[in-house]
Structures are given as structure tokens and as C-alpha cells.
């Protein structure tokens, strides 16, 4: 919301804004802090969600732990390009074997501390076919991919969706990647990234690693933050 604020007869006058958003969901690029996801009543490291979130418990696994920003090596994993497709159809679950195959094809090995960004082509599909509800149908990672990221010490996972495939490949678990990353591994997630320009640049340069930088908002007790991540090739 934009407003106008005059200051008497003084010059200059100013224009002002109020910005507020509900950033969790399927539209805003945002960071999920560890306290965002609750599995069987618990957060990462076994903290009880009822007593350790928001005004009930302070600063367990909140976005404040990344208040100084994140600067690390980023790796793009472009699965549709490897398949020779513009995008993956909603409902596609990428398996661990394919994840490793695409990395090998791109000539990249994961290292401890990496930010791993997985392109499914969701933005390209939306531009070509129009919007759909990714809450029910989306391409993403299969649960076995998390063994690869854990083994190689990856620190951060991002995608042009929310990293989960839907319908879920795990009965009774709506978002297995969220549960594994945030609750089991202590790995923050970045949802709804715009990866199309990065994918073109990486393909043009035949280079799939880059400097990754991200600075979340300093939200006390926050379960996440809207973000604008940057890749520097």
C-alpha cells in the first residue's frame, strides 16, 4: 500500500509505503526456518512446538539464526534440461539416482555447506499453460534424495516449487521433504524460487556452481522470511 505524507510547507514532501505479507504458501519466494515445520509435535532437535514457538518460547530454530545472511556455494540441478523437457509434470518425484545422474552430467559434485537449488520448471510451465494449484499437484524431490544431501553435507535446499512432490509419495505424510529437511536434518528450505534466468545462464556458460547469497529479514521469533536470493556466476 502506497501513501502520501506531506510535511507542512516543508520541502521535500515524501511518498511512503506499508508492506505486509503472509509469505508462507505457494506464491512468494521465502525461507522456511527450522521452526516452521512440526512433526509429531516436535521441532528439530526434539524441541516441543507448543512451548518453543513464537510468544510461547522465543528463539528455537527461528529465522533469527540467519540474521547475518547466508553466503555460500550454490549448485543448480536442472532436471528438466537433463530430460530434454521444458518442465516436469506436476506429480513427478525426482529420485536419488536421477539427482546424482544430473549432477554427474553437469560435472558437479556436492560439497559440505552447499545451497542446492533444484529446478523443476514450474515457472516455465506456469508461463506457458497458466497457473494451477501446486498445493495438490507439484513436481519435487523423492524422500531418498535427502540421503544424498545428508551424505554430502548440503546446508540449504531450494526449488521453484516447495521441494515436495504432490501428491505425496509417502502415505500419511503430506510434505515428507519438509519433515526430513527441517525436522530431521536441520536444513532450511527456500520455496518458490525463480530459477529460469539462472538455468539459462548456467547452460550458456556450462557452469552449474556459483556464489549464492541471501539475507532474510530480521523477524524476532520468525518461522521464515520473504527473500530475494542472488546467484553470482
Q: State pLDDT tens for residues 2-35.
A: 565 555 677 888 888 888 889 999 999 999 999 9
* Residue 71 domain-assigned (yes or no): yes
Per-residue pLDDT at 12: 87
* 88 assigned to some structural domain: yes
List the domain range (segments joined by +) for residue 126. 23-232
Distance CA(81)–CA(214), nearest Å, equals: 25
Examine residue 8 and state whether it is found in any structural domain, yes or no: no
Q: Would 17 be classed as within a structural domain?
A: no
pLDDT of 19 reads 85
Predicted confidence at residue 59, as pLDDT, reads 74
Can you tell me the distance from the alpha carbon of 30 to that of 178, in angstroms, rounded to the nearest whole number?
14
**C-alpha–C-alpha distance, residues 67 and 99, integer Å:** 31
CA angle 207/114/93 to nearest 5° reads 85
In a domain, 136, yes or no: yes
Low-confidence ranges of the chain (pLDDT < 70): 1-8, 54-58
Which CATH number goes with the domain that contains 204? 3.50.30.50
**Predicted local confidence at residue 14, as pLDDT:** 85
What percent of the chain has pLDDT above 90?
79
* Domain annotation covers residue 2: no
Total domains in the chain come to: 1
* pLDDT at res. 166: 96
pTM above 0.75, yes or no: yes
The answer to whether residue 99 is domain-embedded is yes
**What is the structure's pLDDT at 4?**
58
Residues 6+ apart with CB under 8 A from 166: 90, 91, 134, 135, 136, 137, 138, 140
Amino acid at each position: 500500500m502506497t501513501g502520501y505524507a506531506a510535511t507542512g510547507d516543508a520541502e521535500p514532501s515524501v511518498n511512503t509505503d506499508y508492506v505486509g505479507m503472509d509469505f508462507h504458501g505457494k506464491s512468494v519466494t521465502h525461507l522456511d526456518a527450522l521452526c516452521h515445520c512440526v512433526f509429531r509435535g516436535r521441532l528439530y532437535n526434539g524441541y516441543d512446538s507448543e512451548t518453543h514457538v513464537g510468544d510461547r518460547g522465543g528463539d528455537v530454530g527461528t529465522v533469527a539464526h540467519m540474521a547475518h545472511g547466508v553466503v555460500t556455494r550454490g549448485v543448480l540441478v536442472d532436471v528438466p534440461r537433463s530430460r530434454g523437457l521444458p518442465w516436469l509434470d506436476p506429480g513427478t518425484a525426482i529420485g536419488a539416482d536421477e539427482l546424482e545422474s544430473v549432477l554427474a552430467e553437469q560435472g558437479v559434485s556436492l560439497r559440505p555447506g552447499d545451497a542446492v537449488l533444484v529446478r523443476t520448471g514450474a515457472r516455465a510451465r506456469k508461463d506457458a499453460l497458466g497457473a494451477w494449484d501446486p498445493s495438490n499437484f507439484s513436481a519435487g524431490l523423492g524422500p531418498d534424495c535427502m540421503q544424498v544431501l545428508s551424505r554430502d553435507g548440503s546446508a540449504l535446499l531450494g526449488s521453484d516449487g516447495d521441494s515436495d512432490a504432490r501428491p505425496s509419495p509417502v502415505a500419511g505424510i503430506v510434505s515428507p521433504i519438509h519433515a526430513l529437511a527441517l525436522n530431521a536434518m536441520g536444513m532450511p528450505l527456500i520455496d518458490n524460487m525463480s530459477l529460469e534466468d539462472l538455468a539459462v545462464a548456467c547452460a550458456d556458460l556450462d557452469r552449474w556452481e556459483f556464489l549464492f547469497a541471501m539475507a532474510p529479514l530480521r523477524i524476532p521469533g520468525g518461522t521464515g522470511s520473504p527473500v530475494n536470493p542472488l546467484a553470482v556466476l
